[in-house]
Structure 1
Amino acid sequence: MKQEQTFSAISGFAMAFVCFLLLLGGILGIIFLRNPIFILLILLAVICMAGFTVVNPNQSAVLVLFGAYKGTILNNGFFWVNPLFVKKKISLRARNLDSDPLKVNDKIGNPIMIGVVLVWRVKDTYKAAFDVNNYENFVSIQSEAAIRHMAGAYPYDNFEDEKAEITLRSGGNEVSELLEKELTERLAIAGIEVMEARINYLAYASEIAGAMLRRQQATAVVAARFKIVEGAVSMVEMALEELADKDIVDLDEDKKATMVSNLMVVLCSDKDATPVLNTGSLYQ
């Protein structure tokens, strides 16, 4: 398979001077010598003018002669090439692909919406021009395919798959590196270099978003309650130990149970406790 070849073009300014001389000689020959043969000089100058091309910074010109690839002009400037060359300009600048959120299924089967930002540029002009039909469309389609494949390989989170070490939501740099690797492999055929790829949108699909939000809220509440109960038990244990060590009051098992019950209600309740004053004994 052919590779990109650098083409050394002639300076356009030198050939512009040559064309000017041909054109001037033809006109003067017709005027002063009255010889029609000088029309050929004018025609030659006009034909040569078709070979001028301007290559801007971070741009290239792929040259083809009768279906044969002749090379690529990678330097920027004003050049002259064979007028019969077909010149195809290809930009070498970095470009962004901000994909629209796609609806896909994660590893567990949950429908999610995911979108990525891809930074890419053309690295091999021969592959971009001849190995694919339209390299820009190729980047768009292969990026979508890579997103779908990656999303199906990992769960959205580890709520349902607790053994998952990498998830789409918390994977961060690891997920980005895996996405870049897959995109690099897919786009190599078109001579495309992947500079960066990151997830810029991630959410559950609308049909399950409400249920998943309630599940996340319930998980957060359970985790918070666990911490509250754990702290309350420690505080009750500390209170009983302090009362016993300092011999402030002698509590039997029933009194301890009542005290523990009251303290747990006060410490674990999500509302302020309303005290009830007992003016009699503890058993009234």
Structure 2
Amino acid sequence: MLRRAFRTNGFVALVVILGLLIGFGVLALYGLTGSGAGAIAAAVVGVLGVIVAFTCLSGLTVVDPNEARVVQFFGRYAGSVSDPGFHWVLPLSVRRSITLRVRNFETQRLKVNDADGNPVEIAAVVVYRVVDSYQAAFAVDDYEEYVETQSEAAVRHLATTHPYDAHDADRTSLRDGALVAEELTAELAERTGLAGVEVVEARITHLAYAPEIAQAMLVRQQAAQVVAARQQIVEGAVGMVGLALDGLSAQGIVDLDGERRATMVSNLLTVLCADRATQPVVNVGSLYS
């Protein structure tokens, strides 16, 4: 459980320790140069005091901005120090540095099958930071490696539960960037919470069909686009033909029977829906009566 470690101002502690070193050093020197029982006692106290003062120097530590120091005292967790500056903590303790800065990394390009069974290549970038130095230090063996492994697992799971292209309106495809990023971020937050890590953002950076089916899928996509374009052209052409016939009838320009009306509709649709320029044939009537 995260808690604050005992600490005090490092500069004040340094001055006190230096004062103790000087005082006990003088006392030890006096005892070593003197004679009698009093000198021996002074020497012993002075030497012990110097040893203790030198031991206290090991409690001085520096904490950088956006950094935490996890303090262990003979194997036990003594707390964490996250305030930047010069501090004095328990001497003879082990301090482990944990960065609290926002970090990011990009996963490798993973080859997986999507929800429709098509092989795709996918990669993502993950932005995260440590929010609990105790869990980052002791809950997992290596929190950086843990986040990378869980990120690749989350990306694989995301790819297998969504299709590359969604042909149904009720399905979310991997190409829906905002929705996929939100889902990936939520899954990663759940997976990495054990390590004391907060996932800030996760987004897909690479998405493509595998090379062995890329050409076939490109043809399929082109065909789908052609069909969609043709459908729009036909809908527009039908509307234009309807407007033309209604206009001719309303203004009394020409009176068309059913057969001629069908012929005009056929000709107009041919001109409007053709994928290349048409060459009209103009009938100017017969030269002979």
With the length of structure 1 as denominator, give the TM-score of the two structures.
0.88
Report if aligned partners of 1:53, 1:78 keep a CA contact under 8 Å in 2: yes
Task: Using the TM superposition, give the Cα deviation of residue 222 of structure 1 relative to its aligned residue in structure 2, in angstroms.
Answer: 0.8
SS of alignment partner, residue 277 of structure 2: coil
Q: Name the aligned partner's letter for residue 84 of structure 1.
A: L
1:143 match? 151
CA distance in 1, matches of 2:252, 2:70: 95
Report if aligned partners of 2:154, 2:188 keep a CA contact under 8 Å in 1: yes
Counterpart pick for 1:77 among 66, 75, 85: 85
2:68 match? 60
CA distance in 2, matches of 1:105, 1:164: 20
1:249 match? 254
Report if aligned partners of 1:95, 1:120 keep a CA contact under 8 Å in 2: yes
Counterpart pick for 1:22 among 10, 20, 23: 20
1:6 match? 4
Q: Name the aligned partner's letter for residue 22 of structure 2.
A: L
Report if aligned partners of 1:22, 1:44 keep a CA contact under 8 Å in 2: no
Q: Name the aligned partner's letter for residue 84 of structure 2.
A: N
Q: Is residue 2:119 matched to residue 1:111?
A: yes
2:38 match? none
Report if aligned partners of 1:154, 1:167 keep a CA contact under 8 Å in 2: yes
Task: Using the TM superposition, give the Cα deviation of residue 174 of structure 1 relative to its aligned residue in structure 2, in angstroms.
Answer: 2.7
**Structure 1 residues not aligned, in runs of 5+:** none
1:169 match? 175
Task: Using the TM superposition, give the Cα deviation of residue 158 of structure 1 relative to its aligned residue in structure 2, in angstroms.
Answer: 1.3
Report if aligned partners of 1:155, 1:164 keep a CA contact under 8 Å in 2: no
Task: Using the TM superposition, give the Cα deviation of residue 131 of structure 1 relative to its aligned residue in structure 2, in angstroms.
Answer: 1.1
**Structure 2 residues not aligned, in runs of 5+:** 34-42
**Runs of 4+ deviating beyond 6 Å:** none
Report if aligned partners of 1:106, 1:112 keep a CA contact under 8 Å in 2: yes
Task: Using the TM superposition, give the Cα deviation of residue 190 of structure 1 relative to its aligned residue in structure 2, in angstroms.
Answer: 0.8
CA distance in 2, matches of 1:157, 1:25: 79
CA distance in 2, matches of 1:25, 1:221: 92
Counterpart pick for 1:200 among 183, 202, 205: 205
CA distance in 1, matches of 2:187, 2:141: 21
Report if aligned partners of 2:73, 2:94 keep a CA contact under 8 Å in 1: yes
SS of alignment partner, residue 107 of structure 1: coil
SS of alignment partner, residue 163 of structure 2: coil
Q: Deviations over 1:162-185 (max 9, x none)?
A: 253322212x33322221221111
CA distance in 2, matches of 1:245, 1:255: 17
Distance 1:62 1:137, change over 3 A: same
SS of alignment partner, residue 108 of structure 1: coil
Report if aligned partners of 2:60, 2:86 keep a CA contact under 8 Å in 1: yes
SS of alignment partner, residue 195 of structure 1: strand
Q: Which region of structure 1 is more displaced relative to structure 2, 176-185 or 253-262?
A: 253-262
Q: Is residue 2:158 matched to residue 1:158?
A: no
Report if aligned partners of 1:107, 1:153 keep a CA contact under 8 Å in 2: yes
Taking only aligned residues, the RMSD between alpha carbons, in angstroms, comes to: 2.2
Distance 1:39 1:260, change over 3 A: same
